């Protein structure tokens, strides 16, 4: 097939040098589709013409609507958690619904969002991981004092101080056990920390900003347990959870009940329940680590792209 992946146009290059979730997904699709024998290009929506490609795959709602206005059939993939946050009366929901209604089929990376839109064109399609970039250390024995890791871009809907990703809960878990914790993400996380200055008083907190992609694996390998008590995601599991699992880290996280994720302890945003999870992980270290690694293998981008090709063929 001849396939166009539409550039998201969010001001971030494809592939992204550091932060950029949608851009990373688009790049992985391009690379793996080409490896699997399909001619795949990165294209700007304005440049596309009807009949150029067998499949046009777009990742941003307003660009999907532009394609529909040009009469170009497309597959849409939703990435925006704001559709749920703002509710069904919001412009962002209406725009994404219009993109879905105009699509051949729409890929939704969270089951609760499939139910939320309640449209026959919506199907669940999980994210993946690149096993060449994220892989476990051959030996990673149970640590006596596990180092915790969080990787996220915090804030919500223009409020940089809102703890959507649960940094305060992760830090609380570290403080409860006198453990080292690293919080990594884009430099915009400084805005969050300026609203939570008490966090900076914990001497075992390490902060990392704007880490280049080629340094991410080193960050995972230098830590033991990934912590992700988020309260709103468009992807279940999201990219960092799968990357952490592929790198061999057991996980403490909160994600939708409808989706299984082996190698992780499911905990609500409750530091005491998270602490129960940490105890269980440390007691059953080898089992959690093995399950996490297997989850990463199952969700490789190559495997996800094989499923994507089946969807392309169906339309």
Residue 255 tokens read as 């994600």
Instruction: Return the higher-pLDDT residue of 81 and 19.
Output: 81
Strand-pair partners of 300 = 129
Which pLDDT tens digit goes with each residue over 117-159? 999 999 999 999 999 999 999 888 899 999 999 999 999 988 9
Are 127 and 160 within 8 A, CB to CB? no
The contacts of residue 251 (CB under 8 Å, 6+ apart) are: 225, 226, 227, 228, 241, 244, 245, 261, 263, 264, 265, 292
With a cut of 80, say whether residue 19 has pLDDT above it: no
Which pLDDT tens digit goes with each residue over 29-69? 999 999 999 999 999 999 999 999 999 999 999 999 999 99
| CB-side neighbour CA atoms (13 Å) of 185 | 19
pTM, rounded to two decimals = 0.95
Per-residue pLDDT band at 307 (split at 50, 70, 90): very high
Taking alpha carbons only, the member of 196, 189, 194 closest to residue 152 is 189
Q: How far apart are the first and last CA of the chain?
A: 12
């Amino acid at each position: 097939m001849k396939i166009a992946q539409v550039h998201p146009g969010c001001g971030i290059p494809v592939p992204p040098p550091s932060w950029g979730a949608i851009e990373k997904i688009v790049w992985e699709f391009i690379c793996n589709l080409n490896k699997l024998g399909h001619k795949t290009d990165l294209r700007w929506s304005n440049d596309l013409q009807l009949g150029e490609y067998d499949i046009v795959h777009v990742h941003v709602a307003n660009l999907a609507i532009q394609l529909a206005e040009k009469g170009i059939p497309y597959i849409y993939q939703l990435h925006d958690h704001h559709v749920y946050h703002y509710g069904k009366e919001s412009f962002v929901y209406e725009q994404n619904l219009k993109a879905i209604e105009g699509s051949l089929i729409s890929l939704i990376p969270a089951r609760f969002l499939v139910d939320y839109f309640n449209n026959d064109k919506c199907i669940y399609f999980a994210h993946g991981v690149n096993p060449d970039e994220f892989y476990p250390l051959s030996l990673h024995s149970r640590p006596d004092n596990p180092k915790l890791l969080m990787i996220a871009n915090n804030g919500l809907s223009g409020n940089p101080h809102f703890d959507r990703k649960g940094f305060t809960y992760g830090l609380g878990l570290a403080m409860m056990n006198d453990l080292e914790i690293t919080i990594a993400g884009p430099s915009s996380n400084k805005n969050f920390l300026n609203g939570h200055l008490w966090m900076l008083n914990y001497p075992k907190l390490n902060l990392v900003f704007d880490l280049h992609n080629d340094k991410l694996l080193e960050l995972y390998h230098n830590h033991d347990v990934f912590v992700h008590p988020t309260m709103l995601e468009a992807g279940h599991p999201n990219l960092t959870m799968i990357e952490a699992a592929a790198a061999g880290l057991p996980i403490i996280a909160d994600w939708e009940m409808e989706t299984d994720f082996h190698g992780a302890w499911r905990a609500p945003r409750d530091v005491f329940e998270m602490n129960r999870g940490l105890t269980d992980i440390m007691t059953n270290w080898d089992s959690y680590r093995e399950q996490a690694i297997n989850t990463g293998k199952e969700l490789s981008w190559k495997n996800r792209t094989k499923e994507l090709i089946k969807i392309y063929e169906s339309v």
